[in-house]
């Protein structure tokens, strides 16, 4: 966070810096960028595991401490990369046989069921390698991590004006992200961070801070909110990080198409009603249309399901089984009706969590 920028925006507000307890972390950069960052990350994890003593957990050691070593935290971009990394780690450990000590491989990402996410905090007799998205940068701390492997990439939500939608895009992390990742190795003792990119790339190619979300995502929700509270001239509205002009115009055009703005850019009665919903404007318009045409109950269910990332959870090793079960829900006319079918069958099963697990549906979605 750029504290000076925020302080200046809010009239020179005082800045309080509260340091946390951290230990020194040694940083090792790659000599060159790898052709395949997933393969390079897996190789680095195995190299750490086989070349540094991992010992065993002792009764006297504190939470997460171990004799002679520490756990490994591997940062990857998303679910697909994480699952592939876990498969490669398991396969290569099996190939190494007795030459490699036992290793507990644990994935962590937002769509993973809660009981599987919690496994990263459970004690293990063996060294753990935790394969995570940038959720592990700040949102959680795992005791015992002494080694961080940083692929240097992440997924960011970026607005694509050609399709008028936000999409997830793999992009280099910022220097601030890299330093956050490095810090994960120094929470409970001295650590080491292995960066799978060069020092030159870190200094010259990575931005100091991540591009603010308001400058890279769809602004239709923001524009509708500002219009609903009486802001007329969006170009003159003071923001810490002003968004690109093109993104503002795209948002206003989308709202005009939906009938939320008039020809002069003012908010309409429909727009005022849409602004009351904590939803993307197209979904708000769907609900208002359903109120006139009928089918509100079904549309509320569909909109709710569209507002979460994914209702399905598929483990790589059970992908075929999951796909065949998903076919039971398929409605040829519409993906939206397929989602509604899943929801209605879940209700018929009396909202049973076991039914969700059997059909590879996220239990927390319900």
Q: For residue 328, what is the DSSP state?
A: G
283 lies in some domain: no
Same domain, 233 and 160: no
Same domain, 252 and 318: no
Domain of 305, in residue numbers: 295-366
130 lies in some domain: yes
Same domain, 102 and 172: yes
Residue 247: CATH number of its domain = 1.10.10.2130
286 lies in some domain: no
Same domain, 193 and 70: yes
Distance of CA 362 to the CA centre of its chain: 16
For residue 177, the model assigns a pLDDT of 96
Q: For residue 329, what is the DSSP state?
A: G
Same domain, 197 and 69: yes
15 lies in some domain: no
Same domain, 187 and 44: yes
Query: In angstroms, rounded to a whole number, what is the distance separating the alpha carbons of residues 339 and 306?
Result: 8
Residue 289 sits at the vertex; the CA angle it makes with 287 and 290, to the nearest 5 degrees, is: 65
Same domain, 165 and 304: no
pLDDT one digit per residue (tens) for the chain, 366 residues: 788 888 998 989 999 988 777 789 999 999 999 999 999 999 999 999 998 876 544 443 444 444 447 999 999 999 899 999 999 999 999 998 888 899 999 999 888 878 888 899 988 889 999 999 998 888 777 889 999 999 999 999 998 877 777 888 999 999 999 999 999 998 888 999 999 999 999 999 999 999 999 999 999 999 999 999 999 888 888 888 999 888 899 999 999 999 999 999 999 999 999 999 999 999 999 999 999 998 899 999 999 998 887 888 776 667 778 788 888 899 988 999 999 999 999 989 888 888 888 888 877 665
Q: How many domains does the chain have?
A: 3
Residue 182, number of CB atoms within 10 A of its CB: 20
Whether the Cβ atoms of residue 303 and residue 286 lie closer than 8 Å to each other: yes
Q: Is 22 helix (H, G, I), strand (E, B) or coil?
A: coil
Same domain, 151 and 127: yes
Same domain, 63 and 111: yes
Q: What are 114's two structure tokens?
A: 């809660």
Helix axis angle for 296-306 and 281-293, nearest 10°, is 170
Q: Is 282 helix (H, G, I), strand (E, B) or coil?
A: helix
Helix axis angle for 281-293 and 245-257, nearest 10°, is 0
359 lies in some domain: yes
Got the DSSP string for 134-182? THHHHT---TTEEEEEE-SEEEEEEEETTTTEEEEEEEEPPHHHHHHHH
Residue 146: CATH number of its domain = 3.40.50.300
Same domain, 57 and 184: yes
289 lies in some domain: no
Give the residue among 346, 356, 350 at the shortest CA–CA distance from 301.
346
């Amino acid at each position: 966070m750029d504290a000076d920028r925020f302080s200046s925006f809010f009239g020179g507000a005082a800045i309080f810096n509260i340091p946390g307890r951290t230990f020194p972390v040694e940083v090792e950069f790659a000599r060159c960028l790898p052709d395949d960052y997933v393969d390079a990350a897996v190789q680095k994890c195995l190299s750490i595991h086989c070349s540094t003593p991992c010992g065993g957990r002792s009764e006297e050691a504190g939470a997460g401490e171990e004799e002679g070593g520490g756990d490994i935290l591997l940062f990857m971009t998303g679910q697909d990369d994480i699952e592939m990394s876990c498969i490669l780690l398991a396969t290569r450990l099996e190939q190494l046989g007795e030459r490699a000590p036992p290793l507990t491989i644990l994935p962590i990402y937002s769509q993973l069921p809660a009981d599987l996410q919690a496994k990263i905090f459970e004690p293990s007799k063996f060294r753990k390698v935790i394969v995570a998205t940038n959720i592990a940068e700040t949102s959680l701390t795992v005791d015992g991590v002494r080694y961080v492997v940083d692929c240097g990439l992440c997924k960011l939500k970026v607005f694509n004006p050609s399709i008028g939608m936000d999409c997830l895009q793999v992009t280099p992390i910022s220097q601030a992200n890299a330093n956050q990742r490095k810090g994960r190795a120094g929470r409970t003792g001295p650590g080491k961070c292995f960066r799978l990119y060069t020092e030159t790339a870190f200094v010259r190619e990575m931005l100091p801070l991540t591009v603010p979300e308001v400058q890279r995502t769809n602004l239709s929700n923001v524009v509708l909110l500002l219009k609903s509270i009486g802001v007329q001239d969006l170009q003159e509205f003071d923001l810490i990080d002003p968004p690109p002009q093109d993104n503002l115009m795209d948002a206003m055009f989308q709202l005009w198409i939906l009938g939320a703005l008039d020809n002069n850019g003012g908010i309409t009665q429909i727009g005022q009603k849409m602004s009351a919903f904590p939803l993307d404007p197209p979904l708000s318009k769907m609900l208002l249309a359903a109120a006139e045409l009928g089918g509100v109950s079904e549309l509320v269910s569909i909109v709710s399901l569209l507002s979460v990332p994914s209702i399905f959870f598929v483990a790589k090793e059970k992908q075929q089984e999951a796909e065949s079960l998903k076919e039971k829900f398929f409605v040829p006319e519409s993906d939206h009706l397929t989602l509604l079918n899943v929801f209605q069958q879940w209700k018929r099963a009396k909202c049973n969590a076991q039914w969700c697990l059997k059909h590879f549906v996220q239990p927390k979605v319900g």
